[in-house]
Amino acid sequence: MTKFALASTFEESLRSGYRLLPFRFAELDADRYVATNLAGEYVLLPREELRSFVFGKLDYGSSLYDTLKSRHFLIDDDSDVALDLLALKVRTKAHRLADFTGLHMFVATLRCEHSCPYCQVSRRSDDRIAFDMSLATADKALDLVFRSPSPSLKIEFQGGESMLNFELVRHVVREARRINRIQRRNLAFVIATNLALATDEILAFCRDNDVLISTSLDGPADLHNANRPRPGRDSHERTVRGIQRARAIVGRDKVSALMTTTVASLFRARDIIDEYIGLEFNGIFLRPLSPYGFAVKTKSYAAYDADEWLNFYFDGLDYILELNRAGYRFVEHYASLILTKMLTPFDTGYVDLRSPAGIGIGAIVYNYDGDVYASDEGRMLAEMGDKTFRLGNVHDDSWEQIMTSEALLDPLERSFAGSVPMCSECAFEPYCGADPVFHYATQGDVVGHKPTSRFCARNMAIFRHLIKLMEHDDTRRILLSWVRA
């Protein structure tokens, strides 16, 4: 019988030591660190082990050595295929960049019959002519939509209340479908609406043309109506009725809802979640207010700070995990997005957590007046009188002029997290994103000052929290089931 070599024979090449692959680390808690590699895989390790790893003193017989080798934090003389695999993973994470702009938002009108004090778009209640998008403007915008090379195009109607100008919606949907008979893109439509004005006829149009419905629901009736006043104080009733009617006509999976957190919501995370469960939604997106429009003017945005919002978020997340442990499947969508970035080779494409930023190259906005903005937040700023993120106008500028404008390229380049002070060395950079519009709005600079950035504080706390939750077997199973394919 031939002799077989011992396992130790194949460890000879490990004796010559190891080299570090690019990685970053951050404190997780009092004595542990989280280290992330180039592709966002993470390892938790005590301070002393991190030291011995960094100083080349890790023993190749140790289980930490095996973990760090397997997850591509180090490389030894036995194998260099880790470099091929890392390159592949980084390429996979960045893959969506090549698709270019996929989300195209049409501001159908700035008019709205609600009068929410936190309105971030500065709605108008008057003048149909001045604040509705015209068909001519829409046609020009559609030409630009199809200039994007993206194999998937999503057209989202925004407002104001987009159903106040539904003729425009009809026109854009029909025209886009007509153009797409030749273009053959993967074309999708979404209408953001408070549903208060949704008629069966409008909903039937959505059904027949595959238009998804995205509505606003802030919680139980008292909270929702306080947040979202309208004549008759019946916003909640109309929204709920609208959701059920839309489910009946368009389809139960075609209707989603988003909530916005006000100071009145802060201690009511569980009530809000219960409202979503009672309406048989399978998840919720717990969202903070953004610093734009009336939210700034009425001081809604300043009414709570990052910590207060995080307490709200973690309380909601705890409650949702309790429900899941008891066997009821319900997802928190922001956590789901981040977990997908942490635990899979893929990026999600979620516009607010991308680097390079999603402005222009991920999503673009065609305002009612034909102005083109780098993001929804960019046009919100414009309504406050600051047109920094205006890239051009559909009537005056070509796709090339818009996409190569300094108003787009400069913030994209300067805010790239891989080269921004503090972000570039942050362990959580693979999960995070650049949000130049937020930092410009809050700090007057597209790069911003991270130690005082609310965006940074909020996301870092969530990353750490999720990583700690992953340590518990039963919780980890739940979080794994939230990961998107």
Partner 1 sequence: MLALATTKASFSAFPVGESSLLKLSTDPTLPAPLRPLRSFVITDASVPTGFQAYIGFEGRTPMDGLPPGSSTIVLPEEFSYLADGDVLRIIPAKTTVRVLYRRRSRQNFALVTERCNNYCLMCSQPPKPTDDSWLVDELLQLLPLIDRETREITFTGGEPTLLGDRFLTILRECSSWLPDTAIHILSNGRTFSNAAFTEKYAEIRHRDIMVGIPLYSDLSHRHDYVVQADGAFDETIRGILNLKRLRQRVEIRVVLHRQTVDRLPELAHFIARNLRFVDQVALMGLEMTGFTRANLQTLWIDPYDYRELLREAVEILDSAHVQVKIYNHQLCVLHRTLWRFARKSISDWKNEYLAECSDCAAREQCGGFFTSAKLRYSDHIEAVRAAEPVLA
**Residues of the shown chain interacting with partner 1 in the complex, contacts defined by CB under 8 A:** 1-2, 4-7, 9-11, 13-14, 39, 41, 66-67, 69-71, 78-81, 84-85, 88-89, 344-345, 477, 480-481, 483, 485
- Choice between 66 and 208, CB closer to partner 1: 66
Q: What's the rounded Cα separation, in Å, for the pair 332 and 477? A: 14
Q: Cβ 477 to partner 1, closest distance in Å?
A: 8
Q: Shortest Cβ distance from residue 251 to partner 1 (Å)?
A: 25
Q: Count H helices, E strands: the chain?
A: 19, 15
Count of alpha carbons within 13 angstroms of residue 146, beta-carbon side: 18
* Angstrom distance (rounded) from CA 312 to CA 272: 11
30 or 81: CB nearest partner 1: 81
CB of 39 to partner 1, least distance (A): 8
CA 451 from chain centre, in angstroms, equals 22
Q: Which is nearer to partner 1, 1 or 182 (CB)?
A: 1
Residue 84 tokens, joined: 């091929």
Tell me the closest approach of the beta carbon of residue 318 to partner 1, in angstroms.
Answer: 23
For the bound state, the minimum distance from the C-beta of residue 70 to partner 1, rounded and expressed in Å, comes to: 4
CB of 324 to partner 1, least distance (A): 15
Q: Tell me the C-alpha to C-alpha distance, in Å, between residue 300 and each of 261, 290, 305.
A: 10, 9, 11
CB of 19 to partner 1, least distance (A): 14
DSSP 279: T
Smallest separation, CB 41 to partner 1 (Å): 6
- What are the distances in angstroms from CA 207 to CA 156, 197, 242, 250? 15, 16, 14, 4
3-state helix, strand, coil in the chain (%, to 5): 50, 15, 35
Of 54 and 83, nearer to partner 1 (C-beta) is 83
For residue 99, the minimal CB distance to partner 1 (Å) is 18
User: Three-state DSSP class for 283?
Assistant: strand
Contact 394, 372 (CB under 8 A): yes
Nearer to partner 1, 15 or 299 (CB): 15
Q: Is 385 buried (19+), middle (13-18) or exposed (0-12) by CB count in 10 A? A: exposed
d(CA 415, CA 434): 6
Three-class SS string for 85-112?
HHHHHHHHHCHHHHHCCCEEEEECECEC
Q: Which is nearer to partner 1, 29 or 66 (CB)?
A: 66
